[in-house]
Amino acid sequence: MQKTIEEIHGDTEGVVYQLPVYRFAGSSPDAPSAYIQAALHAGELPGVVAIHALMPRLRQAEAEGRILGNITVVPAANPVGRAQYLYGDLEGRFHLGTRTNFNRDFPLLDRPEKSALPPATASATVDVRLKRLLVELSIGHDIVLDLHCDDEGVPYLYVPVELWPAMENCAAAMGVEAVVLWQGSSGAAFEEAAIHPWLQLPPEEAALDRRVVTTVEFRGQRDVESATAASDAEGIYRLLATRGVIADEAAARPRPFTGIAAPIANVEMISMPRAGAILFHVEPGQRVEQGARLATIVHSPGEPDGAIAIHAPQAGYILTRIIHRSGRAGDDIIKLVGETRSARPKDGALED
Ligand SMILES: [Zn+2]
């Protein structure tokens, strides 16, 4: 294994961020390569601890000569966001300087090669330079895993529809409970930047059945636990074995995917009709019928009619809910994967 440290200069003099990168060299030139990064949204740490649990497995595989394809690991992909503490709270989703989501506006290349990257410009802000660097590190890998988490949720994947159902064995290997299939634009999220160049190629060159591109949502922000880190690391390891990056017959044993796979248009973003305190009546992983009470919003405490109930617009599966217990009118508080297309489907990414 080789460790390097990428340096990213901040937007002011005297500020330099460091990004450790770990590389394992594969022994077989034909084997698929893999790139794994975590905490692009800097406060989402389940993937970071999963990588920490995965690394000893990779080192062991390397010592035993079982690493077939090149593997690049970036355990903490966003040192810029990681430093953005504001009055005690971490703002790891949006860059404070530009108010841009760290997982949007990645460069979309027209071919999967470093030479297709836009030129590095000295005047670009630090978040733009970070995004360019992450694309440069990941481009050309057959497998790209971007480890995130939701507010509160089950483990689930976003997968480009072009890679489904070929990626069903990956979802099964990782043991996730749901897969949300998206198509088109996601506001140039990292995942879109990873698949976009391949989709520009003719099918015989793109070899999409060899590609794995996914945003992995490892449950919720507070699910940073030894046990889930170990099981998530095991899931990633099984995926690498299943796709032939690592030689391990037992880990690569096929298993069925028993979760839900649904188009993103089926996802109901349940929003608050009024501001107030949120009482949830459902939790992630639960199935609900149409009309089921999902939450009560207490908007005028003390008044006889001071609360309003929110009901399920259709039958489905509770994927996530927000971490807060208060909100504003219009805030999305639950993602429900409906059995059919939503009457109000979201175009592109589900959230800002
Ligand atoms: Zn995220």
Give me 172's structure tokens. Answer: 């099964």
User: Is the pLDDT reported for residue 293 higher than 90?
Assistant: yes
Does residue 91 sit in the same domain as residue 212? yes
Which of 150, 153, 151, 159 lies closest to 179 in space, CA to CA?
Answer: 159
Distance 226 CA to ligand 1 centre (A): 20
Rg (the chain; Cα; Å):
21
The one-letter code for the residue type at 164 is W
Are residue 224 and residue 269 in the same domain, yes or no? Answer: no
Question: Could you tell me if 240 and 292 lie in one domain?
Answer: no
Distance 147 CA to ligand 1 centre (A): 8
CA 148 / ligand 1 centre spacing (Å) = 4
CA of 131 to the centre of ligand 1 (A): 14
Kind of pairing between the strands at 276-280 and 293-298 = antiparallel
Q: What is the mean pLDDT of the chain?
A: 97
Considering the domain architecture, whether residues 54 and 162 belong to the same structural domain is answered as yes
**What pLDDT sits at residue 111?**
97
Do 117 and 246 fall into the same domain? yes
Distance 98 CA to ligand 1 centre (A): 18
pLDDT at 122 (0 to 100): 84
Would 352 be classed as within a structural domain?
no
The count of other CB atoms within 10 Å of the CB of residue 43 is 16
**Residues 136-170: tens digit of each pLDDT:** 999 999 999 999 999 999 999 999 999 999 999 99
From ligand 1's centre to the CA of 218, what distance in Å?
10
Instruction: Provide the residue range defining the domain that includes 35.
Output: 2-258
Give distance in angstroms: CA of 39 to centre of ligand 1.
7
Can you give the pLDDT at residue 246? 98
pLDDT tops 90 at residue 107: yes
Tell me the pLDDT band of 348, cut-offs 50, 70 and 90: confident
Angle between helices 226-242 and 46-63 (to 10 degrees): 50
Q: Residues 313-341: pLDDT tens digits?
A: 999 999 999 999 999 999 999 999 999 99
Ligand 1 geometric centre to CA of 104 (Å): 10
Give domain status of residue 348, yes or no: no
Neighbours of 236 (CB within 10 A): 27
Enumerate residues 6+ apart whose C-beta is below 8 A from 259.
Answer: 156, 171, 176, 177, 178, 179
Q: Are residues 188 and 323 in the same domain?
A: no
pLDDT of residue 248: 98
With contact defined as beta carbons under 8 Å apart, do 92 and 100 qualify? no
Q: Using the mean position of ligand 1's atoms as its centre, give its distance from the Cα of residue 41 in Å.
A: 5
CA of 265 to the centre of ligand 1 (A): 20
Q: Give Cβ neighbours of residue 160 (< 8 Å, ≥ 6 apart).
A: 181, 182, 183, 191, 192, 195, 199, 213
Statement: residue 47 has pLDDT above 80: yes
pLDDT for 276: 98
- Nearest alpha carbon to residue 108 among 239, 10, 197, 208: 197
What's the rounded Cα separation, in Å, for the pair 273 and 290? 18
pLDDT at 346 over 90: no
Q: Ligand 1 centre and the CA of 195: distance in Å?
A: 18
In tens, the pLDDT along 182-224 reads 999 999 999 999 999 999 999 999 999 999 999 999 999 999 9
Q: What pLDDT score does 347 carry?
A: 72
Report the separation in Å between the CA atom of 7 and the middle of ligand 1, taken as the mean of its atom positions. 23
**How confident is residue 125, by pLDDT bands cut at 50, 70 and 90?**
very high
| Distance (Å) from CA 246 to ligand 1 centroid | 27
Q: What mean pLDDT comes out for the span 230-236?
A: 98
Q: Is 351 part of any domain?
A: no
**Whether 242 and 294 share a structural domain:** no
Q: Are 1 and 58 in contact (CB under 8 A)?
A: yes
The amino acid occupying position 46 is P
Token reading at 306: 């001071």
Count of domains observed in the chain: 2
Examine the pLDDT at 96 and tell me if it is beyond 80. yes
Residue 236 has what pLDDT?
98
> What band does 311 get if pLDDT is binned at 50, 70 and 90?
very high
